[in-house]
Structure 1
Amino acid sequence: MSGIGTKTVAALALYSVIYIAPAERARASEQIVYAALGPETSIPFGWLDFCRRYPGECVGSAAAPRDIDLTAKTYKEIQSVNLFVNHSIQPVSDMDHWGVVDQWDYPTDGKGDCEDFALAKRRLLIARGYPRQALLMTVVKEANGDGHAVLTVRTNRGELVLDNMSDAVRPWTLTPYRFVKRQSQLDPNVWVALEGGGPAPIYVSR
């Protein structure tokens, strides 16, 4: 419990940097950076297989992009979801869990790896009324080249990352990853490349 408290304090300290009072937003607006989007790219097999097993989660017509208005209330709610999922799920590889290299799924049995954490956070935030267009499954590469999945949250204050490897909700520019590709805001079944991310990993893990 004390470990969670320490991480929460650290995350809220970071929030003081992310969230700027309205009177100061104009001065700080030039610091807001969004990831540069490239062309449409290949859809991760894990997402295609997830949609085959959960078709209701992937249907729906294209919609206009929407960002979340980042206020103190919304930040705390996003942070609480990140903490809840990170400390409710036991990390386990897909091979140990399912007997396959890569499977995207909801961690209904309390176990999962990176993409399962991200899917759970996405579902909880959608259930709380946040727009699907702002909650984007994202493939990144770690420093060693391994594939990893996180949830990108698009806000009017920039893009935040919800990561099972960290309890801190951080701007994407403050993470140690190379961002490769993610869901389009227009259509969750369309994926777009992220400039500078390089080739996609074969699968994601951890």
Structure 2
Amino acid sequence: MFGIITKAVTALSLAGAALIAVNATSLAGPDAATFAATGAETSVPYGWVDFCQRYRGECQEDERAPEDIDLTAAAYRKIARINAWVNKNIDPLSDQDHWSAVDRWDYPSDGKGDCEDFALLKRRMLIEEGFPREALLLTVVKEKNGDGHSVLTVKTNRGEFVLDNLSNEMRPWTRAPYRFVKRQSQRNQNVWVAIDAPASAPVYASR
């Protein structure tokens, strides 16, 4: 469907022999066993609403049972490869410079995008690889300076991990240097839920 995804599949297939080594501490221990506490439904980011207007076929209003990824070593390697590939092959560019817009979520089909575009592509590629959509959750966070940022939360039976365009490491969410604000519900991708203590959501994600 998207040229960048076709390119990714080809590159990842050719790189099959050069698997990213699994860090044992990433698959075991207290950090990997933790899950974010989600609360009540909250506001849906404008960027997601706008994205769904343009990609209606990808925003079905369907209820699904929550499903976590069985984080085997093979699954870990595949997720880590996709995270690293997208980070390497997409050039970071703000929405203002890219689209002359304050906030626009889109697939980086021209090889450029900001944080939520990285997350959308990783989510799409992981779904194409057979991972359940219910475990791949777009997430809004705040950086230490208060700026808005977006990452992809990967929910597994070994805890929750973050895929971030600012790091090639597949990190347990407790090791990501952010304040988690809200994310998609596992049951309905068009419903968003608050994370941990209430936090004021940033107007837009800027990186």
What is the TM-score when the length of structure 2 is the normalising length? 0.88
User: Does the CA contact (< 8 Å) of 1:178 and 1:197 recur in 2?
Assistant: no
Measured after TM superposition, the shift of residue 19 of structure 1 is 1.8
User: Does the CA contact (< 8 Å) of 2:162 and 2:173 recur in 1?
Assistant: yes
Alignment partners' CA distance in 1, 2:199 and 2:174: 16
Q: Does 1:18 align with 2:26?
A: yes
Amino acid at match of 2:141: V
Measured after TM superposition, the shift of residue 205 of structure 1 is 1.2
Structure 1 residue runs of 5 or longer lacking an equivalent are 1-7, 21-27
Alignment partners' CA distance in 2, 1:12 and 1:171: 16
Aligned pairs, how many? Answer: 190
CA offsets, 1:128-163, max 9 Å, x none? 000000000000000000000000000000000000
Structure 2 residue runs of 5 or longer lacking an equivalent are 1-17
Partner of residue 120, structure 1: 121
Partner of residue 95, structure 2: 94
Q: Does 1:132 align with 2:133?
A: yes
Identity rate, percent: 59
CA-based RMSD: 1.8
Q: Does 1:190 align with 2:182?
A: no
What secondary structure, in the 3-state scheme, does the structure 2 residue paired with 1:43 have?
A: coil
188-197 or 128-137, which deviates more: 188-197
Partner of residue 43, structure 1: 44
Measured after TM superposition, the shift of residue 195 of structure 1 is 1.4
Alignment partners' CA distance in 2, 1:18 and 1:205: 28
CA offsets, 1:41-80, max 9 Å, x none? 0000000000000000101411000000011000000000
User: Does the CA contact (< 8 Å) of 2:135 and 2:186 recur in 1?
Assistant: yes
Partner of residue 174, structure 1: 175
User: Does the CA contact (< 8 Å) of 2:80 and 2:170 recur in 1?
Assistant: yes
What secondary structure, in the 3-state scheme, does the structure 2 residue paired with 1:69 have?
A: coil
Alignment partners' CA distance in 1, 2:114 and 2:87: 10
Measured at CA, do residues 30 and 108 of structure 1 come closer, stay the same or move farther in structure 2, by a change above 3 Å? closer
Q: Does 1:32 align with 2:58?
A: no
Amino acid at match of 1:16: A
Measured after TM superposition, the shift of residue 196 of structure 1 is 2.1
Measured at CA, do residues 174 and 187 of structure 1 come closer, stay the same or move farther in structure 2, by a change above 3 Å? same
User: Does the CA contact (< 8 Å) of 1:179 and 1:197 recur in 2?
Assistant: no
Alignment partners' CA distance in 2, 1:195 and 1:137: 16
What secondary structure, in the 3-state scheme, does the structure 2 residue paired with 1:103 have?
A: coil
Alignment partners' CA distance in 2, 1:122 and 1:138: 11
Alignment partners' CA distance in 1, 2:205 and 2:21: 29
Measured at CA, do residues 97 and 135 of structure 1 come closer, stay the same or move farther in structure 2, by a change above 3 Å? same
